[in-house]
């Protein structure tokens, strides 16, 4: 019966796995390891714990995937119970070698304040003494800094004896870390109280104690003192409570944290940073570098003079990364104001460069053009692949007499987008597909593209000045139509009240008679030339 089930792929090791395997023990003992490995793979991760408790044959096969799944990245909180468990895992003769990354939550609730923390039940306040927001058993209390350092020394001493290398990191939210169940209510109350500003108090603010630098520095020092080689660093500053970068204490803590991080960057290592703002309009800030593949990914960074900006705290980190070899660079959802392009963009070792949804702040559309940035890229002699998609020119539009205006050096013109901050899109094709240059002479072809884009930018300015208004949101070749809303026939009205549309098939006052025929012929020739 067991053999038939295995042959037809119906042998399931989930559910009553122990009973099924016990019945099959005589047969399993004689099976080769290859068959046992197939059984373990078919059972899946959920069955690993049960498989390890059946017999020594299956335990020997299931131990490795079980260890990789559960011990390669360990996330713990700063409680005695959690850190002692980490010490035991790293000291284990078999499982200790699988611990590759140690991450500790920076959440440190103050017990005395938590003891008298009021609980909001929606329609009324419960008495302050009616409920505690965390488990006050000694094993779940937050350790003192001295106790924390002592446990860290034990952890990394164990790792140094076995594998000699490790990745370190911190996270903010404790939920999901080992031993964090006692913090569940505590975290929920803090997050909820911060979102409801009408009962925000100083007591709640100090109760929300996220010690970023005071958590990372002891981890870093313990790893270095043990002789462990730090292979990588992972930092996650996520969550509503630490998203207010305008807070003075948080800014100071992040600044200190980044100084400590720079110390680890004295040699190439893997880096994974995830940071978030309190504003929904701003994307998540992510910086990742893999030193083995020399690949860097940047997302959500704002290079420039914006006041509350994580990028300002990452300047020294980026300078350190510039000293490392970077062959692949992927950038998306980033913003450059032109006062400083990240030097990483011009890394001489770059072989592959991808830009997606990158905005350039152009002020009055008189500086920081894409043609200038493309000109910089043309000096990357080793570049073999260049990809551009969603290139934007960002600018502000003043509002006067209930109208938004686009500003040029020659004057103000009625805006296309009815909002304060708007953008033009660089249209290099009639579709939304990425514009790709690869193969031979990529730098020379980028230089030619820069010249073409410069002409497109000049045409855009001329078109606005000629018609006295902004007709669409695309910087494109004369006569070509950009993808998106313009092709759908979005109607625009100039200052004289005459309706005009783009080339969507609707007749316009500017393209009637022989003039329209000539312009359409020019468009067809230009498209043919660009395809060639």
209 and 109 Cβ atoms separated by less than 8 Å: yes
26 pLDDT higher than 90: no
pLDDT in tens, 402-438: 889 999 988 999 998 788 889 999 999 888 899 999 9
> What's the pLDDT score for residue 126?
37
Q: Which of 131-135, 372-376, 413-417 has the lowest mean pLDDT?
A: 131-135
26 compared with 498, residue with greater pLDDT: 26
Of 193 and 33, more confident = 33
Distance between CA 447 and CA 451 in Å, rounded?
7
- Kindly report, residue by residue over 84-119, the tens digit of the pLDDT: 999 999 999 999 999 999 999 998 765 444 444 444
SS3 70: helix
pLDDT of residue 466: 93
Please report where in the chains the tokens 């309706």 appear, as a residue.
Answer: 499
Burial class (CB in 10 A: 0-12, 13-18, 19+), 223: buried
pLDDT at 63 exceeding the cut of 90 = no
Strand 335-336's sheet: what is its strand order? 302-303, 335-336, 359-361, 392-396, 421-426, 474-475
Q: What is the dihedral of CA 336, 441, 525, 462, to 10 degrees?
A: 30
Give the rounded percent of residues in the chain with a pLDDT score beyond 90.
41
Q: Rounded mean pLDDT of 344-365?
A: 92
Do the beta carbons of residue 35 and residue 41 sit within 8 Å?
Answer: no
CA 18 to chain centre: 42
In DSSP terms, 230 is beta-bridged to 166
- Per-position b or e across 287-304, b if 16+ CB within 10 A of its CB: bbbbbeebebbbbbbbbb
Q: Say whether pLDDT at 220 is over 50.
A: yes
What pLDDT does residue 490 have? 38
Between 467 and 418, residue with greater pLDDT = 467
* pLDDT attached to residue 180: 78
Residue 72: both structure tokens together: 């390669």
Quote the pTM value.
0.76
Query: Among 25-29, 40-44, 161-165, 275-279, where is mean pLDDT lowest?
Result: 25-29
Which of 337-341, 380-384, 482-486 has the lowest average pLDDT? 482-486
Residue 32, pLDDT score:
74
In which band, very low, low, confident or very high, does the pLDDT at 262 lie, cut at 50, 70 and 90? very high
How would residue 58 be classed by pLDDT, with cut points 50, 70 and 90? Answer: confident
- Of 214, 92, 222, whose CA–CA distance to 142 is shortest? 214
Lowest-confidence region among 35-49, 85-99, 382-396? 35-49
> Does pLDDT of 527 surpass 80?
no
pLDDT score for 431: 82
Q: Are 198 and 133 in contact (CB under 8 A)?
A: no
How many CB atoms are located within 10 Å of the residue 189 CB? 22
* The predicted structure's pLDDT at residue 313: 86
pLDDT at 524 over 90: no
What average pLDDT does this structure show over 242-262? Answer: 84
State residue 51's pLDDT score: 73
Instruction: State the pLDDT at residue 207.
Output: 37
User: How many of the other CB atoms lie within 10 Å of CB of 509?
Assistant: 11
**Residues 245-273, mean pLDDT to the nearest whole number:** 89
253 vs 43 pLDDT, higher one: 253
Q: Residue 510 CA to chain centroid, in angstroms?
A: 46
pLDDT beyond 80 at 330: yes
Q: Mind listing the pLDDT tens digit for each residue in 207-219?
A: 346 789 999 999 9
**Average pLDDT over all residues of the chain:** 77
Over residues 155-178, the pLDDT tens digits come to: 999 999 998 899 999 998 887 888
User: What is the C-alpha to C-alpha distance for residues 499 and 495, in angstroms, rounded to an integer?
Assistant: 10
Residue 305 has pLDDT above 70, yes or no: no
DSSP string, 501-520: --SSS---SSS-HHHHHHHH
């Amino acid at each position: 019966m067991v053999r038939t089930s295995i042959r037809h792929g119906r042998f399931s090791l989930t559910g009553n796995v122990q009973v099924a395997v016990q019945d099959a023990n005589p047969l399993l003992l004689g099976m080769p390891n290859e068959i046992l490995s197939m059984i373990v793979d078919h059972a899946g991760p959920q069955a690993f714990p049960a498989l390890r408790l059946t017999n020594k044959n299956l335990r020997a096969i299931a131990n490795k995937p079980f260890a990789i799944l559960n011990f390669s990245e360990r996330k713990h909180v700063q409680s005695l119970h959690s850190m002692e468990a980490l010490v035991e895992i790293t000291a284990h003769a078999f499982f200790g070698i699988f611990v590759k990354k140690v991450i500790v939550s920076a959440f440190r609730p103050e017990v005395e304040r938590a003891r008298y923390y009021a609980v909001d039940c929606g329609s009324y306040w419960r008495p302050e003494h009616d409920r505690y927001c965390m488990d006050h058993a000694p094993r779940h209390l937050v350790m003192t800094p001295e106790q924390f350092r002592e446990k860290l020394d034990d952890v990394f001493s164990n790792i140094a004896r076995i594998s000699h290398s490790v990745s370190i990191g911190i996270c903010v939210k404790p939920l999901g870390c080992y031993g964090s169940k006692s913090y569940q209510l505590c975290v929920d109350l803090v997050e909820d109280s911060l979102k409801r500003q009408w009962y925000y108090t100083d007591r709640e603010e100090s109760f929300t104690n996220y010690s970023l630098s005071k958590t990372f520095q002891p981890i870093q020092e313990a790893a270095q003192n043990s002789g462990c080689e730090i292979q990588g660093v992972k930092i996650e500053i996520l969550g509503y409570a630490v998203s207010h970068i305008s807070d003075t204490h948080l800014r100071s803590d992040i600044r200190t944290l980044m100084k400590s991080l720079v110390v680890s960057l004295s040699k190439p290592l893997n880096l994974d940073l995830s940071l978030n703002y309190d504003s929904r309009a701003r994307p998540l800030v992510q910086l990742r570098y893999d030193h083995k593949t020399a690949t860097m990914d940047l997302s959500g960074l704002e290079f420039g003079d914006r006041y509350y900006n994580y990028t300002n705290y990452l300047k020294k980190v980026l300078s350190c990364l510039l000293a490392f070899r970077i062959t692949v660079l992927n950038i998306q959802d980033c913003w450059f104001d032109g006062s400083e392009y990240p030097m990483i963009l011009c890394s001489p070792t770059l072989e592959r460069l991808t830009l997606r949804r990158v905005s350039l702040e152009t002020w009055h559309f008189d500086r920081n053009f894409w043609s200038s940035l493309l000109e910089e890229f043309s000096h990357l002699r080793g570049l073999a692949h260049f990809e551009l998609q969603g290139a934007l020119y960002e600018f502000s539009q003043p509002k006067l007499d209930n109208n938004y205006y686009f500003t040029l050096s020659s004057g103000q013109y009625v805006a296309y987008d009815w909002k304060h901050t708007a953008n033009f899109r660089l249209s290099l094709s009639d579709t939304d597909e990425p514009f790709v240059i690869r193969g031979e002479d990529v730098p020379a072809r980028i230089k030619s593209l820069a010249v073409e884009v410069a002409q497109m930018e000049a045409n855009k300015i001329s078109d606005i000045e000629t018609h006295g208004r902004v007709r669409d949101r695309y910087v494109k070749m004369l006569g070509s139509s950009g993808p998106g809303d313009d092709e759908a026939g979005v109607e625009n009205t100039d200052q004289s009240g005459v309706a005009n549309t783009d080339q969507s098939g609707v007749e316009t006052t500017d393209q009637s008679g022989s003039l329209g025929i000539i312009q359409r012929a020019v468009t067809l020739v230009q498209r043919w030339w660009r395809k060639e």
